[in-house]
Chains A and B, each alone.
Chain A
Amino acid sequence: MSRGWRSFAIGVLIAVLVIALIPWVWMLLTSFKSRLDALADVPVWLFKPTFEHYPTVFLDKNYLPLLWNSILVASVTTALSLLFGVPAAYVFARHDFRGKEDLFFFFLTTRMAPPISVVVPMFLLFTTFGITDTPMAVILAHSTFNLSLVVWMMRGFFADIPREIDEAALMDGHSRFGMFARVLIPLAAPGLAATAVLCFILSWNEFLYAFVLVAFEGRTLTVGIPGLVTPHGTLWGQVAAVAIVATLPIIVFSIFVQKHLVRGLTFGAVKG
């Protein structure tokens, strides 16, 4: 392969990276622009930054509780999904029972279920429970898809651990519970961490369930975003500030899970 081809390929890849990154970077720049710079006819790339939008939107306009709700919903959803999902994944990895693979398929369908087709009755159900417009409603809704993610991912991670380890742990005098908690869980820890982070990301980014199930008190950041966009006079500096706070943590998290991202997003079918 000639040098020319190599330079050409590298050039194409750099162009791809620029296209991938510029839109988000533009949002970042906008969050530091004055109103005049943000609305300029000719795009402004260099400007004197202002730091007013972040305090304005999060403190004066009271978007701080939305950030808190996002953190709360994503954390509790993750904890709940792991608590219920990890033991289930262990059973799928190590035990055989009738209808096992059918049940596994059921988990897949819950992961893929289109939110738009269940969100109305879910809203009615949560009204009966009296939990609409609370973070709990969103937590339960998000647990449906994250639970299946945990089951699918962790089954693979447990299956990667040789069965001989189980037997050795039992021979060493561990109870079955001790074997699970003190031997298998530590061995699966990297996968467990990646699964947890991925759960957090998926819950944090989800929109439709959260949008329908909460109106005021339980709003998360993604739900707060459309409210800022109005047909006329949108305050883009503030919108951008919210968008950056809603996306920056996820970009950072994704670096930590990159190694397991492929596996998580392909339901364990492809190992990264």
Chain B
Amino acid sequence: MISRGISSALLDRGVAPLLLVPAVLLLVVILLGPFLYMVWTSLTDLSFALPDRDGNFLGFDNYRRLMREDAIFWHSFGLTMKFVAIVVTLEFLLGFTIALLIFRFVQRRRLVLTLLLVPMMLAPVAVGLIWKLLLQGDFGMVTYYLRLIGILDIRDALLSNADAVLPAIMLIDAWQWTPFVTLVMLAGLLSLPREPFEAAVMDGARPWQIFRDVTLPLLRPIIALVLLLRAIDAFKEFDKIFILTGGGPGTATELLSIYVYRLNFKNWDLGYGAAAAFMIYLVVLILCAVFYKAVYWREGRPRQVTS
């Protein structure tokens, strides 16, 4: 009974926040600690490849080098930005269109969604593997049909063609994540109130006008949310590319996370690698803050985009 008394006391107003301690403690030790260590490392010359570079303090030299001298970093940064911009746009347009079609024409939505969601439930590593099999140069199923309809040259393969490989990976990402956009946008469509639509019909609005002047404005918060969540995720993309190309051919698909992986685990240049890793963290943190302030947080209170 004593332990129950203590538990009850813990749940009492004044001390209830103590229940947060285990969760916060775990995150501080396992995540925040390593993160702070990484920030410290980024200010040193720590390397596991060169014996004399055992963590001498450099100040901001790594960051200066990264910003001013590292052409590959900027190449990766540019690729990543291109990747994020294109996949998020593509996935949004496709996903929203599919959501509208399902909303308008399908009665048994759960069944359709169950099938449609399969790609996004798969481990990204498995997705990479599946498409590696489909795109094999000599026996890949998709390669065969692309050649059959004349899109792909007989000696060409998507994953080893430096010009085609990034668009191919973008399409694979769209294959995996378009269902996510559909799922969220459909939830948004289903949650819309009826009255504005009835009023618009009474006023004699045409379907296109209703879509532009009623549906889209009502969906704006949810559109912002889905774009941001996809952008954050796409910015971190690693698994699929790691399996499909490892960043190659050359550096044609070396997005930021792959470049940081190479700095740390191939070159063992931990100090410099930490500085590059921090740049990824910074971008994600900014996107996160935008998500929180613009989408989740409204007028001083957390809110639900739909109810």
Contact = CB atoms under 8 A, between A and B. Distances in A.
B139 A250 contact: no
Interface residues of B, number: 104
B257 A90 contact: no
Contacts of A103: 20, 24
B27 A117 contact: no
A87 B26 CA distance: 14
27 contacts: A13-B106, A17-B112, A17-B116, A20-B116, A20-B179, A21-B115, A23-B119, A26-B133, A90-B19, A95-B16, A108-B291, A109-B288, A114-B281, A115-B236, A116-B261, A116-B277, A117-B260, A144-B30, A147-B26, A175-B7, A201-B121, A205-B122, A205-B124, A229-B243, A255-B114, A261-B183, A270-B187
Given A90-B19, A204-B123, A226-B243, 17 more contacts: A21-B115, A27-B133, A91-B19, A103-B24, A106-B24, A114-B235, A121-B33, A208-B238, A229-B129, A243-B126, A250-B123, A261-B183, A265-B180, A265-B183, A266-B225, A266-B226, A271-B307
Interface string B1-26: 00011011111110011011011101
B118 A87 contact: no
Nearest to A70: B123
For the residues of B in contact with A, the DSSP-based class is: helix
Q: Select the residue from A39, A178, A247 with max chain B CB neighbours within 10 A.
A: A247
Contact of A112 (B144, B284, B306): B284
Contacts of A43: 141, 144-145
Contacts of B37: 121, 124-125
Contacts of B27: 106-107, 110, 144, 147-148
B197 interface: no
Interface of B: 4-5, 7-13, 16-17, 19-20, 22-24, 26-27, 30-31, 33-35, 37-38, 41, 98, 101-102, 104-106, 110, 112-119, 121-126, 129-134, 138-139, 141, 144-145, 175, 179-180, 183-184, 187-188, 191, 222, 225-226, 229, 232, 235-236, 238-239, 242-243, 257, 260-261, 264-265, 270, 273-274, 277-278, 280-281, 284-285, 287-289, 291-292, 295-297, 302, 304-307
A138 to B, nearest CB: 12
Interface stretch (A4-12, A48-56, A57-65, A188-196): A4-12
Interface of A: 1, 6, 9-10, 12-13, 16-17, 19-21, 23-24, 26-27, 30, 38-43, 83-85, 87-88, 90-91, 94-95, 97, 101, 103-110, 112-118, 120-122, 124-125, 140-141, 143-144, 147-148, 151, 156, 175-180, 201, 204-208, 212, 222, 225-226, 229, 236, 239-240, 243, 246-247, 250-251, 253-255, 258, 261-262, 265-272
